[in-house]
Each structure stands twice: as C-alpha cells, then as structure tokens.
Amino acid sequence: MRINNTETDNEEIYLKYFSFSLLRDFRARIILARILAGVFLFFLIMMFVPWTQNIQCRGNVTAFNPSQRPQTIQSVIGGRIEKWYVNEGDFVKKGDTILYLSELKSEYMDPEIVPRAGKQIVAKEQSVASYMEKVKSLDAQIDALYKTQQLKIEQTENYVKQAKLKIVSDSINLKAAETEFTIAKEQLNRTEKLYKEGLKSLTDLEQRKQKLQDALAKIVSAENKLLISRNEFLNASLERTSIQNQYSEKLAKVESDKYASLSDMYHAEGDVAKMQTQLMNYSVRTGMYYITAPQDCYITRAIKTGIGETVKEGEDLISIMPSDYELAVELYVEPLNIPLIEKGQHVRIIFDGWPNIVFSGWPNSSYGTYGGKVVAVDNFVSNNGKYRILIIAEEDDYSWPKELRPSAGAFGMALLKDVPIWYEIWRQISGFPPDYYKSKEQKLEQKDKG
C-alpha cells in the first residue's frame, strides 16, 4: 500500500499497525457468517412459534351502570341564580341543596300564589256543593210531581169508571123505559078494542093514553141521561189525557232545570280539578327553585357560575360524578372485526398511566395488563364509525387499579385463535381478518340450544 510517497514493505506495515493485522485475519468472516446463520435460524424457528391473534382497539374507562356515570344537572324551570351552597370538588349526599334559583316569569312571582290558589279551590268547591243541593231540591220536586201526577191520574180513572157505570145504568133505564112504552102501547090497543066493544069506559081509554105518553117521556128522558153520561165519560177521558200532558210538561221543565244544574256542577268540578292541578304545579314549581343532588356524588364542575345569571329551562347547571360506581371499559372496534366479538369473550386491557410491557401475541408474557370480559356489543355504529363494546373486570383475574377514574384512557386486546407467526405475518400482509374460533363451552351451549 502507498500510505505516502515512501515505499514501505507490507509486512512492516502489518507488524507496525494492529488494525491492519486484523484485516488479514480471515476468521472474522467465518464468525460473521455464523452469526448471520444463527440469526436466520432463530427467525426461522420463531416463524413457527404460536401467536395469539387479537383485535386491538382503544377506548376509555366508564361506569357499568348508566346511573353511575358522570352526568349534568339541568334546571327544570327558567330562573336566576341567587345562591350557591357548594364548591367544586365537594361531596354531597342525595337531596342536599346545590343552589337556589329565583323566579323570572311574572305569572309566578306572587309569593302568596299557593295559598291564594287554595282559596280559589275552596270557593269553587262550595259552588259545586250549591249546585249539588239544587240538584237534590229538583229531584225532590220531581218526586212530588210524579206522586201528584199519579194521584190525579187515579182520581181521573175513578171519574172514568163512574162515567162508565153511569152509562150502563142509564142504558138499563132506557131499556126499561122502552119496555114500559111497549107495554103501555099494547095496553092502549087492547083498551081501544074493548072501548069500541063497550067493555071499557072512556076514562080507562084516556088513562091508557096518558100512561103511553108517560112511557114515551121516560124514554126521551132516559136517552137524554144516557147521552149526558156518555159525554161525561168522554170528558173524564180527556181530563185524564190532559192531566198526563200537563204533568209531563211540568216534569220535563223540572228535569231540564236539573240537568242544567248538573251540567253547571260538572263544569265547576272540572274547574276544581284544573285548579287543583294548577295548585300542585305551583307547589312543585316552588320546590324546583332549589336544585338538589339526585344521588351521593362529587361536584366536578359548575357550568353556570356567578350570582344573578339567568338560566333557561333544561339548561345544564353543574356536572357531577357519583361517589359509588362499578368500573367498566368501553372500546370501539372496527366494523371488519365486529363479527369476531361476542358476549363473554376475554379481553386484556392496558390502562393509561399504568406501566406495562406488552407482547400482543403472547398475553401470558405481558406485564401490566388486566383481564376483562365482554358484556355488551352495540348493534349500531357510533359517531366515530366504529362499534362500541362494554367490558367489565374478570373475577378470577387481577383486580383493576383502585385509582382508576371514569374517562381514563384504555387500550384493549380481544384474544382470538392461536396461529404460527408466519401465518400472522402473511395474514397482515394480505389484509385478511383474524381467524374466528369458538371455545368448547360455547360450542356445547350452541348444541344445547339447537
């Protein structure tokens, strides 16, 4: 080699410089080849090592029971903030007062609105009682009219019966008069014959004529009486009809007054019911001025602040966190993988802020992961385009950290089938979904159901 312009023997250079002497040592090549062969053999063996397929997804910690999740308290009515009773971070029990609102609407500003509404109800109830008494009085009047009508009709029926009997009596009298007239006429004829023969005197003949005239007069009188009786019968019948019509008209008028009073009474009762509802609304609204805690909880943040600030109906006032809750994790899974998720499936979870060493394909060798099982799978996609699954802690695994709080980040791995590493690499490159499998217990359950 030419290090400089001076020619030097190569052997002298190799002896003088140790680094050059290393270049002459061909054992380094052999070592390098062995190292590369060992690495290749190691990776070749690793290709056949079992790998647990998994579905990785992110989410956050939440509460299992919806009533135990963070929530906001709204104002049911519109009002103005007058006083705060708590500070952020305070613990309050169920029913404790958080803040007080004052009224904004003019129709509710009267401080005596509840007792005045009660007085109006009392007055209206007295009106209902008056209508009820009037109805009772009209009922009594109707009963009296029915009884009087019955008596009058019975009296008229008696008149009708008397007229019928009188007609019968006058008819008999007429028949008797006609019979007497016939006898008198025959006696007159016989007397006239005897008078012509000289056996009866003129006096006897005149007496017979007189009797005949008397018999004729009786017939006329009997006929006249019979006509009068028949006329009285007709008058009695007309009187009966007239009485029925007269009392029917009176009863109809009284019943009309009764139903009119009932209508007024029912209307008044409806007004009482409306006023009672209004009174209850006033009482309930008065209680809504005080915003209270719905359960034992911590005050996390005041959304509306200050004194004198106005709020609308249904507007958020303050956010709270229940003090007693059971933790769960909600993870969001890609639609491609959602058919592989089912209830009861095992999941390994990593919580943000807790140290961990994770080998996704070897869950048994991972450190800092916690066990969970799927308890719910949404049937519709969330706003982020993924499906939500809900996970709770497994009883037989390590307990979740007590310091966990809702909304903390979480990373989950749903464990699937065990496959060789070379297959997993090929699947990832090809873009195929993980292999789906079912445990023996799940297969037995499906057979039992079938």
Residue 102's pLDDT is: 87
3-state secondary structure of 420: strand
Q: What percent of the chain has pLDDT over 70?
A: 83
Residue 417's pLDDT is: 64
106, part of any domain: no
Average pLDDT, rounded, for the chain:
79
68 and 324 Cβ atoms separated by less than 8 Å: yes
Point out the domain boundary residue: 304, 321, 338. Answer: 321
Give yes or no: residues 176 and 217 share one domain.
yes
103, part of any domain: no
Give yes or no: residues 281 and 367 share one domain.
no
398 and 413 Cβ atoms separated by less than 8 Å: no
Give yes or no: residues 264 and 175 share one domain.
yes
pLDDT-based confidence at residue 92 (cuts at 50, 70, 90): very high
Instruction: Give the mean pLDDT of 165-176.
Output: 82
Give yes or no: residues 29 and 81 share one domain.
no
406, part of any domain: yes
Give yes or no: residues 244 and 256 share one domain.
yes
Give yes or no: residues 311 and 400 share one domain.
no
The amino acid occupying position 193 is K
107, part of any domain: no
Point out the domain boundary residue: 287, 312, 340. Answer: 287
Give yes or no: residues 282 and 308 share one domain.
no
Model confidence over 334-366: pLDDT tens digits?
887 787 788 888 888 888 877 655 544 445 544
Q: Domain range for residue 316?
A: 71-96+293-321
Give yes or no: residues 141 and 261 share one domain.
yes
Give yes or no: residues 270 and 131 share one domain.
yes
Give yes or no: residues 158 and 277 share one domain.
yes
Sheet of 310-311, strand order? 290-292, 97-103, 79-84, 310-311
Model confidence over 24-74: pLDDT tens digits?
555 666 777 788 888 888 877 777 777 666 778 899 999 888 888 889 998
| CATH code at position 239 | 1.10.287
Hunting for tokens 């600030």 — which residue is that?
309
Hunting for tokens 């009533």 — which residue is that?
67
| CATH code at position 302 | 2.40.50.100
Q: Give how many domains the chain has, as a whole number.
A: 4
189, part of any domain: yes
Model confidence over 373-405: pLDDT tens digits?
899 998 888 888 899 999 998 888 878 888 788
Which phi and psi angles does 315 have, rounded to 5°? -85, 140
